[in-house]
Chains A and B, each alone.
Chain A
Amino acid sequence: MNKAIETTDPADATYGPDHPAPVIEPPRARTGRSPRTSRTNYELYGWVFMRMSGILLVVLVITHLLIQLVLDGGVSKVSFAFVAGRWASPFWQAWDLIMLWLAMLHGGNGLRTIINDYAERDTTRFWLKMLLYTATVFTVLLGTLVIFTFDPNIS
């Protein structure tokens, strides 16, 4: 009745008390040298920014999608003239500018926390974050440039 059934064969005889197998360490274990307190509120502000920008983005993005895709003929009405007409008003320029900045910083910060959570090696997380920051800065600057220098009379 009492019997042991081995499902896998541990048939590796090269290890012994003097030569134990290497144990698998989990990534980035906490040691006595781990706490390097930065004494800044950076993570706190990041956390609050995510909540605040999230609430604002719900309003900004849903209204934007309604205007662009649903109301007044839907997506078929969107043309160069439609965009030029909207950006003639400083209100919609400001709307799109705020939406661009908030969405890029919100998404960038979200990706930063995901990289921090899932990239195991320090070099991997460093280069992933550098790539992320470069892409974020590039998109924000390009979008801002377009909003401010948009010329409705371009041929």
Chain B
Amino acid sequence: MITRDSLYSRLLTWLLLPLLALGGLMLFQAWLDARQTADRAFDRLLEAATLAIAEQVQWQDDRLWLDLPPAALEMLATDAEERVFYAIYDNRGRFVTGNAELPGIDSDGANADDGLYYRDIQWRGLALREGVRRTRLEDWRQRERFDVRVAHTREGRERLASQLLRGNLAYILGMALLAAATLVIAIRTALAPLTRLRRAIRARDPRTLAPLELPLPRELAELRETLNELLARMRRVRANQERFIGDASHQLRTPLAGLSARAELALRQDDPTQWRQALVAMQDTSARTSRLAIQLLSLTRLDNPEYRPELSPVALDDIARQAVKQHWSACHRDGIDLGVETPQTTVKVQGLDWQLEEALGNLIDNGRRYGARRITVRVADAPPVLEVEDDGPGIPEARRLLMLRPFHRGSDDPDGSGLGLAIVDGIARTHGARLGLEDGHDGQGLRVTLIFPGALS
């Protein structure tokens, strides 16, 4: 049998199983009730028979005497033709008369009170219902105590009990069918909005991100709201992407247009020195453009949520030294003091060396570009921190968050792409590190810190 997981079958199972258990319980109860009722009705016969016999017990010839009324025995056999047994016992438990030696109520029967007792017994392999009447002679000379014990087989009781049970059975079955039918209808009705929701989603244009609009019950309305929130987020993401693409093409178009204009201008000249100047300028522009393209590429890669690079242990101080070594000559040419501060011991984190190098490169480049005189790369221990501080103009606090967005530049510097800090932000996210933008030393300049989650020992 193939079991398909569905809400419908789950609900049906979890509602029908208890219902079934309940029905079984009711049946069992009905059976007990029927038995009890039948026993109560038929115990009246035992009561009447013992009474009829007890009334005929007398004291005669110095002993208990009974003139057994046949009717007393006949009343014990109903239409079901039960087997009938009776016996009289005296106060010491001795058999006086009867057609069967029936057991008494207990072994020391002398202690029991007068009265009528019923119980089920097994006698020679027959299941009997016994009635024991413990009473005394109503005689002013003799108050001898005696037992009248009668018993009959259970056919009549069982017949009545099964009749009662059959009546109840029809009732219980009817109820169960009604309950099951109601249940099925109720579950179908309750699950109908789910089908509507599914149809509404399936019928949508796959390109649209418009919110779902259809009336639903509360529980599903929550699901619809969640879906709509997701759609709204996707709309924002798409808007961002569209803007990014627009910005990127704009950024690339400007230098390409410059290249084209310069080449056109140079072609109008006949002087080879002019050509040479133009070629130098064009080489410079194309180098910048290619750097921009590389930055765009890495930013795109960093922004991709599917991108999960495998991190390996890297030494932060090595990376810092390497970056300083790489950028030192460029800075020196511009008269910038580039320095590095590292602790005594090696600081290791999980990371990608080339990404961290690029981040440092971007930060150093930014500092150089925005007119810093001194740039310090700093590595700290516990927690591991990579930090670049400059003494340039810095960024006012209100604009720091904006700076993390691509193509947003601090000034109208035609050289900058506006991607540097956005890329650093992406790299920090990849490493699970926290990016901080603060004022530099003495409230001047900018300090960018990358605080890593934990050091590797």
A is bound by B? no
